[in-house]
Structure formats: structure tokens, C-alpha cells
Structure 1
Amino acid sequence: MTIINGMLYFAFPDLLIEGNLGGLMVGVPPIVTDGGDDDSLKDDDTSIHIEAIYRFRVNDNISLTPGLFVITNPNHDDVNDTIWVSTFRTQFRF
């Protein structure tokens, strides 16, 4: 059995304003590409995970990071609807 996965992450420091950070992630969740002796274990479709974030630096101690991620063909099945998720993180540094 062969299972692969991978992710590329791109970071853009000081995007638009000094101290802020943009990020883009694109990858494939673990997928069975070869089922070995049991070909029914092989995933026929491919999910893609795409995520984008932007960290706003409010001051030296507080940052806000909204984000959005999308998963196409969840569970490597094109019958499944695309998943959209928004996120929001607040970070306090002391």
C-alpha cells in the first residue's frame, strides 16, 4: 500500500504593512495511491486543501488572524460537497 500527502506553504512577511503576515497553503491530505493486493483501497479522486491567512499586528502584544480554508472532494470522493471554513485567531503576547 502506498499513501502520500504533501503541503506547500508560502509566507509573505510585511505584506501591505510592516509587521503583518500573509500566508497561503496548498496541499493534498493523505491519499492511498496504490492499494497493494486490494485495489479497492485506492482513492479514485483527489482532495485539495487550500488555506489563506492574514495576520494583522495591532500592536507589539496583540495580533488578529482571520483565515479561510477550502477542501475539495473531502475524503478523496468527488461525490462529497466542497467544505468551506472560516477561522479567526487572536494572539496575546505577554
Structure 2
Amino acid sequence: MRFNSTLTFIFIFILIAVGSGIISGLKGYTLGHEALQEVSQPDIRRGERKLNNEDDSSSGQDALVSEADLLEEVNEKMDRSSERAVPLAEDAED
């Protein structure tokens, strides 16, 4: 049996491609896992809230909140003093 350099090159190339794919996949998974370590789901239990507040007058409808009020609340929570978020357009209902 004769040594075939082309087959050897192809085999080495495939090994390098598979190895680099595994390494980059593990690195991406590790970075994503570290990035999401501090993130958790919000602690909202919609079903329990409805059971406790059965006399709610909204009857299942979501309340509309003005964008300016929402951004004001976000700015307060984030302690933004220099860069404040502003609404894109004024609300038509105001």
C-alpha cells in the first residue's frame, strides 16, 4: 500500500476543522453562560395575582401607560443623571 499525501492532507484538514468547531462551540457556550449568569426570569405570577385581586375593575384588559411616564420611571431606577431617555413622539391621547 502506497502512502497517499492527498488523503493525509484531507484527513488532517478534517481533524483541524472538527477540532476548531468544537473549540469555538465550547467557547461560545461558555461566554453565553457567563453573560446570562446574572439574568433571571421576572418574579411575576400572573395567575396568583388574578386570584388575589378578583375585584379588579380592568376585567382582563391591560392598562395603557404613557411612554414619557415609563421612561421617567426607568431613569429614576437607573439613576441616570446625564443621559436621560426621552420619548420618541408625544402620545396622541394626552
Tell me the TM-score normalized by structure 1.
0.23
- Structure number with greater CO (CA < 8 Å, separation at least 6) is 1
Whichever structure has more helix as a proportion of its residues is 2
Whichever structure has more strand as a proportion of its residues is 1
